[in-house]
Chains A and B, each alone.
Chain A
Amino acid sequence: MLGKGVVGGGGGTKAPKPSFVSYVRPEEIHTNEKEVTEKEVTLHLLPGEQLLCEASTVLKYVQEDSCQHGVYGRLVCTDFKIAFLGDDESALDNDETQFKNKVIGENDITLHCVDQIYGVFDEKKKTLFGQLKKYPEKLIIHCKDLRVFQFCLRYTKEEEVKRIVSGIIHHTQAPKLLKRLFLFSYATAAQNNTVTDPKNHTVMFDTLKDWCWELERTKGNMKYKAVSVNEGYKVCESSVKLKDAVFAHCYVLSVTRWLASKRSSINRRQKEKPHLYLEGDLRQFGLPAYFVVPTPLPEENVQRFQGHGIPIWCWSCHNGSALLKMSALPKEQDDGILQIQKSFLDGIYKTIHRPPYEIVKTEDLSSNFLSLQEIQTAYSKFKQLFLIDNSTEFWDTDIKWFSLLESSSWLDIIRRCLKKAIEITECMEAQNMNVLLLEENASDLCCLISSLVQLMMDPHCRTRIGFQSLIQKEWVMGGHCFLDRCNHLRQNDKEEVPVFLLFLDCVWQLVHQHPPAFEFTETYLTVLSDSLYIPIFSTFFFNSPHQKDTNMGREGQDTQSKPLNLLTVWDWSVQFEPKAQTLLKNPLYVEKPKLDKGQRKGMRFKHQRQLSLPLTQSKSSPKRGFFREETDHLIKNLLGKRISKLINSSDELQDNFREFYDSWHSKSTDYHGLLLPHIEGPEIKVWAQRYLRWIPEAQILGGGQVATLSKLLEMMEEVQSLQEKIDERHHSQQAPQAEAPCLLRNSARLSSLFPFALLQRHSSKPVLPTSGWKALGDEDDLAKREDEFVDLGDV
């Protein structure tokens, strides 16, 4: 690869070899850089945000190329973010700052976004945690959105270094109490400022009405009913006290652990076996206040095992088959309890196996599908490919890019998720079966798979509102433990599993393969993935709706009369100006033509493709024989005796899958019908926008998707204006002015990293190392010489 220098100050494992080519020491930068005079940049604080510590004369390296340069400024740490205040923002022109995030600046890192912190001591990179004996000369921060920041602390006063480094480490790595989340201080302080976007139609699924609406929309109301049995979280109430106790216990444990780790090495810390099971057992407060169950199911049953073992409705297909989920019953040793559980499940199964319900197929997601451990390992390998400290490191990994990528098996996990979702889609669409997803807590892979299935089958989910409602329904109300899975409280690293990110990556594959089918763009997905770490939105900062409501409610009762009004991430105007929001919307998306505009809610989605599928009635008949058997099998599974393979995951299933998959792909795509992704080896790709956006080497100036996009927008604009002209001819009055997406206008040459990493644009310099350039003297000399020569030529 193009030989690039090691970034000064080390960082890599290799010590730089002495060379006569300029290996610029930071001292030299000091003299070279003329803008040592610090411009005073004011720190922008959000309501409720407090400055905790700061350090001045910090040099932020511009990572872009091997020649060292950096910007001086102040490094501050608040209870919301780490921010670097330099003067390089002034370099941006207006055009490029239009996609600015209003909450998080270019040089801001929210505390929850920090992934790893490294210090460089004598050219050696070490992970920083706990109490430090020695303070590093350079601080490297890896962020969860894959940015890498490098701060040189050499010119900072020792006192300040100590304060800022330990401050940053403490506030990003020490376990936190839920109540100490910035979310609450922000909500308290911004109580009066929060204006909810009136245009936001996302269905939040926090009322009975929302569920009824969804039932009606999917025509599921014939066989399923929304219940309010858990209103006020009565079902869970009995165990809430226990939960609180254990929660506090966990906190104490984790704090102790963290304190202990201050003196131990990371290795030892990882070996420690924390009391995971406690937290695991607590997971089952995931039931939302309202949810949907099969109509004949008695409501008392729900309470029996705190919602375990109850089939909960996710979505109904147009042909009547439905997607259900169920959390497994707790594992018990006692035979008596087992017996009770068995008879309970038998009862449940009797209800849902009777007509009018279709045959049920059970998908056990916790036994023979992905494990959370696999996802975690794969992602941590995968992300390392993009967290680049310096160019040399980058080029080293670049040579074996494909095999490294493959060995992380992240793409393979994506493929497996998509494949599973297609299998389920096949069952529902072609075989007209109900599918019951089974998982221990029904809150990880259940959310992932059921959302994917709905995305493929229900075109409504491919609109922005529909997608947001889907996340709201399946993830937020479905009780996905965002707090733990994102490790927002830093209480347990092992619980940190990027399930939601995996989901977004799967969605990206779909968006990438079928762009016209989605109302949102990949930029939307990227920005959504970033929002996971912004603690002013409540959406991703609770483990369950129950946890959210209890925390909100009490706050309200104790301090003020009014409950806290938390922001939701779906209010995009909090983060982006309307102009920037045009980038989140796919200009080529065309809404499904509606027969009757007034009757929007009761709209029925017709799947044209379905008509061409082979009829499946005959196929499902041989399965009736083992219907009973499957139930037994399921119960065995539920009771903890796991059998590696389901009986029916045989060749027949594979054949059905193949046939379904092939026949779909051999036909043309109806973007408002069933949508299946390609899952062959070459088709699963890296979400380049998210993963490569901060890597300057990956910049293609004037190229990439943006080039097409700007052309597209231009043409859309033209179409619109022509349309207006024609409208004018019809109606004498002026047609309402359509908003022209002019964000990309008059931007001369954008890079492929647009709209991210705008500050990195210097890096478009091609780097061409010259060994021995100095041999002939200074550049200036050379230029002069050439000029003279040219002058001669003129004469």
Chain B
Amino acid sequence: MWWGGRGQSFNIAPQKEEPEMGSVQENRMPEPRSRQPSSCLASRCLPGSPSSPVDGSGISEYDFALVNIGRLEAVSGLSRVQLLRPGSLHKFIPEEILIHGRDFRLLRVGFEAGGLEPQAFQVTMAIVQARAQSNQAQQYSGITLSKAGQGSGSRKPPIPLMETAEDWETERKKQAARGWRVSTVNERFDVATSLPRYFWVPNRILDSEVRRAFGHFHQGRGPRLSWHHPGGSDLLRCGGFYTASDPNKEDIRAVELMLQAGHSDVVLVDTMDELPSLADVQLAHLRLRALCLPDSSVAEDKWLSALEGTRWLDYVRACLRKASDISVLVTSRVRSVILQERGDRDLNGLLSSLVQLLSAPEARTLFGFQSLVQREWVAAGHPFLTRLGGTGASEEAPVFLLFLDCVWQLLQQFPADFEFSEFFLLALHDSVRVPDTLTFLRNTPWERGKQSGQLNSYTQVYTPGYSQPPAGNSFNLQLSVWDWDLRYSNAQILQFQNPGYDPEHCPDSWLPRPQPSFMVPGPPSSVWLFSRGALTPLNQLCPWRDSPSLLAVSSRWLPRPAISSESLADQEWGLPSHWGACPLPPGLLLPGYLGPQIRLWRRCYLRGRPEVQMGLSAPTISGLQDELSHLQELLRKWTPRISPEDHSKKRDPHTILNPTEIAGILKGRAEGDLG
């Protein structure tokens, strides 16, 4: 039996025996190779994936999570191809199975002729069945890897999982959000199961008010702080107003106070406006996947319009544009900007993360980005399981993958501003469907907590004396997707670093308009609705008083202003004469979102294709960096012993340091990556 990609197959050492992993067996593909470890030949099938499989990591590149299997095909001979579905009869004994991953990978499993036919048949059947079962099984049993304990030890600064009040408090302090506090009102998930246990609310709002106010939002997702801009602005997110409710005056006041967050200038952003619906995202992703299949029938000269036809890049640019607009709003003056989406679990997370990436240099570090994802997606209750199709429900929509694509675009456009590399994004992209940690396998923080055992006192929820969950042991050991050493070798993890990262670009000393962080609450002097790329004045924040709210009733029908030449930024940042040599506040990135600037993430989507190669800029920089450290090392070594026999050691300097050698190193590196 051989494993190969597109006709290129070469041997690597036989895989190790599968470690005993108990329940893992039913969630991962039954490994056919474990039956005949000695006879199996394997080859890489993933041109462009970060690096070759490395011994010691739990999951190799040939492992496909069952959920990840997008399409199964049995091939016999050159022309016989059969799509394998559960229950379908095998028309022939397959010589080869093609497994098309939903993460754009392609795995080719070939069965060598000679004595293996029955096995080929069995294995194929087993895969089909296991896949069918996994589709039915809505819940995963908790997976405890045998390496669980040792994994967490090596984490340098652990990514805060935002499951304890301390995490939230630390993060709050880091952001210097002085007007805010950590609310424990949802500690028992009784305000909303989709909300995290803790979140930030304005200082002066009491927990009881929070509870009441949150009741008037869709699924209890009231306004919470997402990010505090060092200049004073606050970025908030909340669900849609629950229009059927009939709040009393105090409730309305509480809601308004929370939205206003002490600012006189309030901008309500309709997140869903101009962005794709969930169904759109799903459809685009399906189309993109079809287009990027290696056997896609699109002619080369029609490729571009086919790509356009998927609309995926359109959605990417819509997200970037909106995020860029919002970051201007947040940066330009001190105000409260509220992202409002009906469910508050999809696009709000996408936009608030993008805005932070654009305006906060800290979020562009490896650590910052992981905490960002953990906070705005995982803890904020993005329904990963549903969106990634894990439950088989109809609401599948890879919003998170759309987000990753947006981040990749930023990475492309600002290669010196991100500490993490494309490989990191790729690793994250691929981890989404790997069922070894709970991070992406649950819909809500509540479910996740239940699973990892921190809620074994769930029955005590209403016990008055209950204050702290039995924290500590159980969930400190819990693994998250950020434990990269579970799946990746150290060499691979090293590649997560962007060698071109040049953080000098963004001095964090910059503050736009240093202002007291909190102001006397009063009625906001200006309330805006940001929609269709423009600000429209609103009479009131909430829809319940007096007249129906603009947002609730008509916002989606507001015509986009056809002609408006006044630029908000012009007014915000003064006239062109004030724009010095550096017209943008340092640290703020404004991405390009023109047609020619939005690119296809080739290394991710075209992985199944044999011809995809690496771009060369990143490896060359890293090659140079290696050379640099090599030189420095050399210099250090030389310094002590060089003084006396300096000239006796007659070595031509060129043999050590001539460009040829650098070339060799560069080339070797590039090739290593290319291979």
Contact = CB atoms under 8 A, between A and B. Distances in A.
Interface string A314-333: 00000000000000000000
B515 A409 contact: no
Nearest to A412: B301
A582 B590 CA distance: 29
Contacts of A155: none
A669 interface: yes
Interface string B478-511: 0000000000000000000000101001000000
Contact of A793 (B8, B505, B516): B516
Contacts of B653: 723, 726-727, 730-731
Contacts of B613: 665, 678
A403 B659 CA distance: 44
Interface string B583-619: 1101001111011110010100010011101001100
A19 B564 contact: yes
Q: Which of B304, B647, B675 has the most CB of A within 10 A?
A: B304
Interface in B75-126: none
B611 A665 contact: yes
Contacts of B21: none
A769 B561 CA distance: 8
Contact of A406 (B302, B334, B416, B570): B302
Given A722-B635, A730-B646, A767-B569, A3 B562 contact: yes
Contacts of A786: 264-265, 333-334, 525
A13 interface: no
Contacts of B308: 400-403
A514 B415 contact: no
B137 interface: no
Q: Which of A21, A69, A515, A588 has the most CB of B within 10 A?
A: A588
Interface in A561-594: 588, 590-591, 593
A680 interface: yes
B417 A702 contact: yes
A679 interface: yes
B564 A792 contact: no
Interface stretch (B213-221, B336-344, B625-633): B625-633
Interface string B261-305: 000110000000000000000000000000000000011111111
A782 B526 contact: yes
Interface stretch (B146-154, B321-329, B463-471): B321-329
A766 B594 contact: no
A240 interface: no
B532 interface: yes
Contacts of B584: 701-702, 749, 764
A768 B300 contact: no
A19 B571 contact: no
A668 B576 contact: no
Interface string B630-647: 011011001000100011
Contact of A726 (B518, B569, B600, B638): B638
Nearest to A789: B264
Interface in B409-430: 413-417
Interface in B496-552: 500, 502, 505, 515-516, 518-520, 525-526, 532-537
B663 interface: yes
B671 A588 contact: no
Interface string B547-589: 0000000000000111111111111010010010111101001
B594 A697 contact: yes
Contacts of B417: 702-703, 707
Interface in A511-569: 514-516
B435 to A, nearest CB: 31
Interface residues of A, number: 110
Contacts of A680: 300, 303, 609, 611
B660 interface: yes
A779 B571 contact: yes
A617 interface: no
A3 B566 contact: no
Interface string B656-675: 11011011001100110011
Nearest to A403: B305
A769 B565 contact: yes
Contacts of A688: 596
Interface string A760-778: 0110111111111111100
A516 B616 contact: yes
A785 B526 CA distance: 10
B594 A401 contact: yes
B620 interface: yes
Interface stretch (A135-143, A631-639, A711-719): A711-719
A44 B241 CA distance: 66
A764 B646 CA distance: 55
Interface string A671-715: 100000011111100101001100101111111110110111001
A698 B415 contact: no
B635 to A, nearest CB: 6
A707 B589 CA distance: 13
Contact of A3 (B532, B576, B597, B642): B532
A477 B620 CA distance: 37
B59 interface: no
Contacts of B565: 4-5, 21-24, 66-68, 769
A65 B321 CA distance: 17
A65 to B, nearest CB: 7
Contact of A715 (B526, B592, B628, B635): B628
Contacts of B663: 590, 593, 671
Nearest to B646: A729
B307 interface: yes
Interface in A48-81: 65-69
B624 interface: yes
Contacts of B564: 3, 5, 19, 21, 769-771
Contacts of A21: 561, 563-566
B563 A789 contact: no
Contact of B500 (A398, A590, A711): A711
Nearest to A401: B595
Given A700-B414, A711-B416, A590 B534 contact: no
A768 B328 contact: yes
A69 B563 contact: no
A748 interface: yes
A652 interface: no
A726 B631 contact: yes
Q: Which of A688, A701, A770, A792 has the most CB of B within 10 A?
A: A770
B657 A766 contact: no
A704 B413 contact: yes
B592 A700 contact: yes
B571 A679 contact: no
B414 A703 contact: yes
Nearest to B634: A726
B621 interface: yes
B533 A401 contact: no
A700 B358 CA distance: 13
A9 to B, nearest CB: 13
Q: Which of A415, A768, A769, A794 has the most CB of B within 10 A?
A: A768
Contacts of B534: 3, 768-771
B595 A707 contact: no
A759 to B, nearest CB: 12
A6 interface: yes
B563 A17 contact: yes
A678 B415 CA distance: 24
Given A19-B562, A711-B621, 16 more contacts: A3-B563, A5-B565, A399-B595, A401-B308, A516-B616, A593-B660, A662-B611, A669-B674, A702-B414, A703-B415, A703-B592, A715-B628, A716-B624, A762-B579, A762-B583, A766-B324
Closest 6 pairs (CB-CB, A-B): A401-B595, A681-B303, A5-B565, A590-B663, A769-B564, A402-B308
18 contacts: A3-B561, A3-B562, A22-B565, A68-B565, A405-B595, A406-B305, A590-B660, A666-B8, A681-B303, A682-B307, A697-B592, A712-B621, A723-B653, A762-B583, A766-B590, A773-B535, A779-B571, A786-B265
